Structure 1
């Protein structure tokens, strides 16, 4: 960690508690974009168990994640009230992408989406987003089939306060529905919470209608403009 921070201009170690008493504490404070984040779980602290995950991206079936140990990054105390603010969450994802370059880092767990991504997959998708590319809808969010044949996002609400739900008529072709959902996830992250209906052109030129359902914190997607 110290070597990476010393060679990297993207973040720094703003507080190294081992300097206080000459003993390793297992905790560092990291600084990026003027914000601080706590990294815990380093030796000699007891190993942190990998959190429960439901979705996996870039993780092969032969990977035994039960053998992993986890480090946890959280916004610092001064960010507690704004931990879900977009700049904080974006910087948190970016730091995780930077740290995935360390030897021995196998995967990144993104708790709000209950997603576990291969370290290289996570790094590439997040850094592309930071550099102006599409939002990593499979990694910082996930897509879940609904009981009626639709498709719903998991994890988007951290960025916009709303989840996305595609009606069955939009998601009946699962591959096409996923393509539509990923495009909409990117658009919603760019535009933020919506409070009124929008017309949207899908990837195949189809007309879609986005309708916020405020009491559920969901944006419904239907075919047609009415």
Structure 2
């Protein structure tokens, strides 16, 4: 069953990590610890002693199988579930429409997927920027550690991103740079020629639509879209008309339409 929360990590077939490999990953990364392993009868409390638990009761309460291929990881104070570990069965990655640093002949179906998602303690806050940022940072660290990880699939943007591009753009963002708009969002061209974002609503509840004639040059419109996505992820959704200046000095207006779901960008 495809899950719409979290991020998918694609590995070469037969190269998906198991529990032991993830334990090695946590041992090598100071920011990550194994907070719960349902295959173990002990829950190691961070900074404390072992507490004996009934893993079947825990699994039942969470709706998870005690023997399933998943672990709970603690990363910078936030818990995330990592599903699909070898040798258990894994679900295929979700459909994608936008590829970044991922060639067409490389079909996602030829890979095996792990699924990383916010833990149950974060239920209701999955879209909060600190949670998403933590999850993306953890995915970046997993990509850096596991050489056989080839790409990630980000469902909100229906995008697949090659490992190197994902690592570089996410690292730049985590270090204070621009939001990785090409990957965590994408852009489609409408029938009337407008350019519209895909996936921005996951962060702010709105998508942007760059209207003609601004969108006549699709490359320039996409560059503008990337700048606006970065701005809106930082500032949040807009409720009224706002003015912005395009890179070439053109005065633009951003206007919420369709009950605020879309932000129309037009020449003022």
The alignment's TM-score, normalised by the length of structure 2, stands at 0.79
Q: 1:179 aligns with which of 223, 229, 246?
A: 223
How far apart, in 2, do the equivalents of 1:39 and 1:67 lie?
A: 20
TM-score (norm 1): 0.94
C-alpha separation between the residues in 1 aligned to 2:211 and 2:242? Answer: 15
Q: Is the 8 A contact 2:239 2:260 kept in 1?
A: no
Where does residue 35 of structure 1 map in the other structure?
Answer: 78
For the residues of structure 2 that align with 1:120 and 1:208, how far apart are their CA atoms? Answer: 34
Q: Deviation digits for residues 139-188 of structure 1, max 9, x if unmatched?
A: 00000101110100000011111111101111111111111111000000
Distance 2:150 2:67 in 1: 23
Residue 149 (structure 1) aligns with: 193
Q: Give unmatched runs, 5+ long, in structure 2.
A: 1-21, 43-65
* Cross-structure match for 1:126: 170
Aligned partner of residue 129 in structure 1, secondary structure: helix
Alignment of structure 1 residues 17-32 onto 2, 5 Å: 17-20=38-41, 25-32=68-75
**DSSP-derived class of the 1:3 partner:** helix
1:85 CA displacement: 1.3
Tell whether the 8 Å contact from 1:179 to 1:203 is kept in structure 2 after alignment. no
Please provide the CA RMSD for this pair.
Answer: 1.7
Mapped partners of 1:106, 1:208: distance in 2: 39
In the alignment, which residue of structure 2 is the partner of 1:60? Answer: 103
Relative contact order higher in (CA < 8 Å, ≥ 6 apart) = 2
The match for 2:115 is 72
Please say if 1:45 is aligned against 2:88.
yes
- Residue from 247, 250, 253 that aligns with 1:203: 247
Q: Deviations over 1:2-59 (max 9, x none)?
A: 11211112322211223228x9741110111211010000023202212111111000
Q: What are structure 1's unaligned runs of at least 5 residues? A: none
Partner of 1:159: 203
Q: How many residues are matched?
A: 224
Partner SS state of residue 4, structure 1: helix
Larger Rg over CA atoms: 2
Q: Is the CA contact 1:164–1:220 (under 8 Å) kept in the aligned structure 2?
A: yes
Matches of 1:112 and 1:92, distance apart in 2: 14
Structure 2 SS opposite 1:70 = strand
**Counterparts of 1:48 and 1:67, CA distance in 2:** 12
Does residue 1:90 correspond to 2:133, yes or no? yes
Contact 1:153–1:164 (8 Å) recurs in 2 = yes
